[in-house]
């Protein structure tokens, strides 16, 4: 049977305050062919205490043969850990703001250490700004310009105040988001829209009135209704066989056939004087003719 080499990590640790090796609970790295093992336990109560300064040892096995122990250098979790970026990050655009939610890179004993967070943000092609430190995993970036695109990154920093240790973590990936309108901007936009619409209506009415005054003759010509065919002619065109005069007499209005009576009153005396005046005018030249002959 082929013999296989195993790396038997016996899961023991030695603290700086102890003289014996202790078993690491909650971590199983026995009889593995891998050349690595994750000693991060599922909870804070398992694994080695994270504030301890510990050392691990490794032993290899090959069949019945066992190697000597190889000791890993001293390690203190809260001092030597590599801190990744915050996890589960969500960004919600607000009214002239960006609301950021995230979770810690890993679990910590808050009675000993804390996480502080920084948000680096900038407007596209703008100057980079920072907000922090903030201990909450809920950060709101306020006083941003509405309807603008902002990019941001979040960073976690592990602070062990009793030891005077601050370990900055890695930055999150850059994400860009567009803000929405705030209430004041919405009101301002509504007022500007109303004023603009009112001015447009006034200008349009003024332009129409000016055009009417300037081109009223042409407009009157365009909108002048064409002459209508008289009703009698229309009836005749419908039935050309019908005599035109009878059609006109039939369709003529009674008011058009009405006649007004005229009375002449003569006065005898005035009529006689008028006749006498007429005779005198006629006889005048005849009487003067003999005298001109002499």
pLDDT at 215 over 60: yes
Confidence of residue 29 (pLDDT cuts 50, 70, 90): confident
Q: Percentage of the chain surpassing pLDDT 70?
A: 59
pLDDT given for residue 208 in this prediction: 80
Confidence of residue 38 (pLDDT cuts 50, 70, 90): confident
Model confidence, pTM: 0.55
Give me the mean pLDDT over the 222-229 stretch: 67
* Measured distance CA(228)–CA(208) in Å, rounded: 30
* Measured distance CA(32)–CA(6) in Å, rounded: 6
Identify which has the larger pLDDT, 225 or 52.
52
Mean predicted lDDT score pLDDT of the chain? 75
pLDDT given for residue 90 in this prediction: 95
pLDDT given for residue 117 in this prediction: 97
* Measured distance CA(57)–CA(65) in Å, rounded: 17
pLDDT at 217 over 60: yes
Q: What is the CB neighbour count within 10 angstroms for residue 2?
A: 3
Confidence of residue 152 (pLDDT cuts 50, 70, 90): very high
pLDDT at 83 over 50: yes
Residues 21/48, Cβ–Cβ less than 8 Å: no
Indicate the helix (H) or strand (E) that contains 289: helix 268-293
* Measured distance CA(76)–CA(48) in Å, rounded: 10
39-60 tens-digit pLDDT: 766 556 666 777 788 887 888 8
Confidence of residue 89 (pLDDT cuts 50, 70, 90): very high
* Measured distance CA(212)–CA(218) in Å, rounded: 9
Indicate the helix (H) or strand (E) that contains 86: none
Which of 66-80, 216-230, 268-282 has the least mean pLDDT?
268-282
194-209 tens-digit pLDDT: 778 888 888 888 888 7
Where are the strands (E) in the chain, listed by range?
5-8, 12-15, 22-23, 53-62, 65-66, 70-71, 75-76, 87-94, 97-103, 114-123, 129-134, 138-141, 149-160, 165-171, 175-178
pLDDT given for residue 182 in this prediction: 62
pLDDT at 279 over 70: no
pLDDT given for residue 9 in this prediction: 45
* Measured distance CA(67)–CA(28) in Å, rounded: 20
pLDDT given for residue 8 in this prediction: 45
User: Which phi and psi angles does 98 have, rounded to 5°?
Assistant: -130, 125
pLDDT given for residue 131 in this prediction: 95
Spell out the alpha helix ranges (H) of 116-258. 183-214, 216-223, 231-238, 244-251
| Beta-bridge mates of residue 15 | 54
pLDDT given for residue 55 in this prediction: 80
């Amino acid at each position: 049977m082929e013999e296989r080499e195993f790396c038997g990590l016996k899961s023991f640790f030695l603290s700086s305050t102890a003289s014996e090796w202790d078993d690491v609970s909650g971590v199983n790295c026995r009889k593995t062919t891998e050349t690595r093992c994750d000693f991060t336990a599922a909870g804070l109560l398992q694994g080695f205490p994270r504030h301890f300064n510990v050392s691990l040892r490794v032993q290899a096995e090959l069949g019945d043969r066992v190697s000597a122990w190889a000791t890993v250098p001293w390690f203190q979790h809260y001092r030597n850990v590599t801190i990744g970026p915050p996890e589960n990050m969500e960004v919600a655009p607000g009214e002239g703001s960006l609301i950021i939610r995230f979770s810690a890179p890993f679990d910590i004993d808050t009675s000993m250490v804390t996480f502080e967070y920084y948000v680096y943000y900038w407007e596209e092609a703008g100057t980079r700004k920072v907000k922090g430190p903030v201990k909450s995993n809920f950060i709101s970036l306020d006083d941003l310009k509405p309807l603008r695109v902002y990019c941001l990154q979040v960073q976690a920093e592990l602070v062990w105040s009793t030891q005077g240790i601050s370990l900055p973590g890695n930055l999150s990936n850059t994400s860009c988001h567009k803000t929405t309108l705030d209430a004041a901007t919405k009101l301002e936009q509504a007022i500007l829209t109303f004023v603009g619409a009112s001015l447009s209506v006034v200008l349009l009415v003024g332009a129409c009135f000016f055009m009417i005054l300037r081109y009223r003759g042409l407009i009157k010509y365009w909108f002048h209704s064409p002459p209508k065919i008289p009703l009698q002619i229309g009836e005749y065109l419908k039935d050309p066989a019908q005599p035109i005069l009878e059609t006109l007499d039939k369709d003529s209005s009674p008011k058009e056939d009405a006649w007004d009576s005229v009375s002449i009153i003569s006065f005898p005396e005035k009529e006689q004087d008028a006749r006498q005046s007429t005779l005198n005018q006629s006889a005048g030249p005849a009487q003067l003719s003999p005298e001109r002959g002499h």
